[in-house]
Amino acid sequence: MRIVETNSPDETWALAAELADELGPGTVIALHGDLGAGKTCFIQGYAAALDIDEPITSPTYTLIGEYEGRLPLHHIDLYRLSGPEEALGLGLEEYFDVNGITAIEWAERAEGLLPPDLLHVQIKADSHTGTRTFRIFRENEA
Ligand SMILES: Nc1ncnc2c1ncn2[C@@H]1O[C@H](COP(=O)(O)OP(=O)(O)O)[C@@H](O)[C@H]1O
Ligand SMILES: [Mg+2]
């Protein structure tokens, strides 16, 4: 388990860029954390590191955004899902891109439907400061 604290969105971007240098095609990143924790911010930093110019937004009506960069990036946000039952019908597995990176916000809402070698990124915000604590670990280390 790797534990890193960031004190600003810029530092979160820097952490994401570091990971983007280390992780290869086929990686599926499961992001966890409350609303406002910094999941989207992390993915925006990751996208920038992949030379993606298009802004990464949190899609309101679509669950999945696809972006072209040094590697393709699939951004999935499961916030609107009630849980795994609802996730079943989505055919999520089609979006786990073996040639690119898949980053999933609220990944726990699709528990049991995700690949076995997930990289988990858990983010906890300190409510009084801008500090975010990142816990980064592989599924099999959990
Ligand atoms: N260290 C930090 N890392 C990431 N975001 C931070 C940090 N400090 C403050 N913020 C702010 O927290 C918010 C995170 O929002 P967002 O990434 O959309 O959260 P989530 O996707 O988890 O709901 C942003 O407004 C960002 O500016
Ligand atoms: Mg978000």
On whether residue 124 sits in a domain, the answer given is no
With a 6 Å cutoff on the Cβ, whether 35 touches ligand 1 is yes
Reported confidence tier of residue 96, pLDDT bands at 50, 70, 90:
confident
On whether residue 104 sits in a domain, the answer given is no
Residue 87 has pLDDT above 90, yes or no: no
- Number of structural domains (the chain) is 1
With a 6 Å cutoff on the Cβ, whether 122 touches ligand 1 is no
On whether residue 78 sits in a domain, the answer given is yes
With a 6 Å cutoff on the Cβ, whether 45 touches ligand 1 is no
On whether residue 18 sits in a domain, the answer given is yes
* Separation of CA 3 and ligand 1 centre (Å): 17
Strands 101-105 and 119-125, by their bridges, are unpaired
On whether residue 122 sits in a domain, the answer given is no
DSSP state of 126: -
DSSP state of 9: H
CA-to-CA distance for 12 and 121, rounded, in angstroms? 12
What b/e string do you get for 19-54 counting C-beta neighbours within 10 Å, with b at 16 or more? bbeeeeeebbbbbbbeeebbbbbbbbbbbbbbebee
On whether residue 12 sits in a domain, the answer given is yes
Arithmetic mean of pLDDT over the chain: 92
On whether residue 133 sits in a domain, the answer given is no
CA-to-CA distance for 42 and 24, rounded, in angstroms? 17
Taking only the tens place, the pLDDT of each residue in 109-123 is 998 899 989 999 999
CATH number for the domain harbouring residue 56? 3.40.50.300
Higher-pLDDT residue of 75 and 90 is: 75
On whether residue 131 sits in a domain, the answer given is no
Query: What residues make up the domain containing 92?
Result: 1-96
Reported confidence tier of residue 43, pLDDT bands at 50, 70, 90:
very high
